[in-house]
Structure 1
Amino acid sequence: MPVGDSMTIGSAGEHTWRYRMWQHLRRSYGGPFTLVGPRETLHDKLADAPTSYAYADPDFPRAHLAGWGEGWLHMAPLIGEAVRSCRADVLLVSLGLIDLGFYTNAGQTAENVRAFAAEARAANRRVRMVWLPVTPNVRAESDPAFAAEVVRFNELLAKTAADLDEPGSPVLLASTPPSYDVHADTYDGTHPNDSGEHKIAAAFAEAMYQAWDLGEPYEQ
């Protein structure tokens, strides 16, 4: 189940990193799988609502739990029912930018991460999770205080992943894509373009391959 904010839901006309991940797993993973989640749409910027099905390629399992302007704060109360109803086994989570930008500081956001994990495990005691740190974004380049909160949160996210990791329900911290460039890999300083989608998908894919031997190294 892909879980995330605007970078995960995507907007009308995009492929999304969810599509790139599906392509990768279809090529490299030997076992049966599908993407699950209670939502399927893209965000329609003109309507300012999640009402679009205009994917660049709509022929893939489009299910997800993502929303424009939603963060750990918003997903923590929703994840339990989503995991339960959709029978999710693995959560690929990209959240945090919205929280830090509008709602909570790094410490408060980390507490919401713990609440999220607890709710997910209450729904499926053996759920596996991969968490992506907050990726580079244009606001951090011009707002030092915000940039500091991002750095602090990513440190807390790593600590939380280590604290909560357990054999029956592992938590992986994916690596921030090392070459991710807000000027080359996004179309507005935040939201991924085609190359950014591939790099986000690769971050999740590499984490699962290295830790769980799931799939193969990511190839664009």
Structure 2
Amino acid sequence: MTIGSAGEHTWRYRLWRHLCTAYDGPFTFVGPREELYDKAADAPTSSAYADPGFPRRHLAGWGEGWLHMAPLVGAAVRAHRADVLLVSLGLIDLGFYTNAEQTAENVRAFVSAAREANPRIRMVLLPVIPNVRATTDPPFATQVDLFNVLLAKAVADLDEPRSPILLASPPQSYDIHLDTYDGTHPNASGEHRIAEAFAGAMWEAWGLGQMYAAGTD
């Protein structure tokens, strides 16, 4: 949902476009990666963004979750001097790798590693958006709900003044039938809604930018 696949804009692009008009200070997106996922190659090897004219650096992967990112985030923060992390993870963990409790422990490991690299790092964490599987798999839906509760608890436990953590509100009116192209991955409207969730959290808590404009392209 964050890396995107060939031919997409990604929510990262939508947020960048918003911040270009909403934020007065200098900023850029950073990270060790910039590729999109290529479905034909089944690998993150594509540079075919719908609009390549933005800072495309990121730390995201197709099929990678908290389990995979917790060991990587410290080195990425340190090497690329990140001071804000915008994190949308968890669906793949719960779907294939870890249960809700284990996933929540990986959240805590991720936060610890990021802070070890930058003790003043700020973070915005997005709750898991249930996908189409949750409509037909009640145990999976229960795990998603439980994880989101545990995620909120982790944010409350780990938030501190020098390194604040925000729990973003779930994207308003997000509809997997209208805002995704396959029941999971966001289409253009879904990208806007995810970008809006991050933008709203940063504006309301930190006064960074402004509220997301629905017409942002």
For the aligned pair, the TM-score class normalised by the smaller chain equals over 0.9
In the alignment, which residue of structure 2 is the partner of 1:105? 99
Matches within 5 A, 1:144-183: 144-183=138-177
In the alignment, which residue of structure 2 is the partner of 1:46? 40
Q: Is 1:77 matched up with 2:71? A: yes
- Gaps of at least 5 residues in structure 2 are none
The counterpart of 1:58, out of the listed 30, 52, 75, is 52
In the alignment, which residue of structure 2 is the partner of 1:87? 81
In the alignment, which residue of structure 2 is the partner of 1:207? 201
The answer to whether the Cα contact below 8 Å between 1:12 and 1:45 also exists between their aligned partners in 2 is: yes
In the alignment, which residue of structure 2 is the partner of 1:34? 28
Instruction: Report deviation, 1:205.
Output: 0.3
Letter of the 1:119 counterpart: A
In the alignment, which residue of structure 2 is the partner of 1:125? 119
TM-score normalised over the length of structure 2: 0.98
SS at match of 1:64: coil
The answer to whether the Cα contact below 8 Å between 2:130 and 2:141 also exists between their aligned partners in 1 is: no
Distance 1:136 1:217 in 2: 24
Instruction: Report deviation, 1:136.
Output: 2.6
In the TM superposition, structure 1's runs of 4+ consecutive aligned residues that sit over 6 Å from their partners are none
- Gaps of at least 5 residues in structure 1 are 1-6
Please report the RMSD computed on the Cα atoms of aligned residues, expressed in angstroms.
0.4
The answer to whether the Cα contact below 8 Å between 2:37 and 2:45 also exists between their aligned partners in 1 is: yes
Letter of the 1:54 counterpart: A
* Alignment coverage as a number of residue pairs: 214
In the alignment, which residue of structure 2 is the partner of 1:143? 137
Percent of paired sites with the same residue: 75
The answer to whether the Cα contact below 8 Å between 2:14 and 2:192 also exists between their aligned partners in 1 is: yes
The answer to whether the Cα contact below 8 Å between 1:136 and 1:181 also exists between their aligned partners in 2 is: no
In the alignment, which residue of structure 2 is the partner of 1:3? none
Letter of the 2:25 counterpart: G
SS at match of 1:139: helix
The answer to whether the Cα contact below 8 Å between 2:94 and 2:144 also exists between their aligned partners in 1 is: yes
Letter of the 1:206 counterpart: G
Letter of the 2:35 counterpart: T
Q: Is 1:197 matched up with 2:197? A: no
TM-score normalised over the length of structure 1: 0.97
Distance 2:47 2:108 in 1: 32
Instruction: Report deviation, 1:177.
Output: 1.0
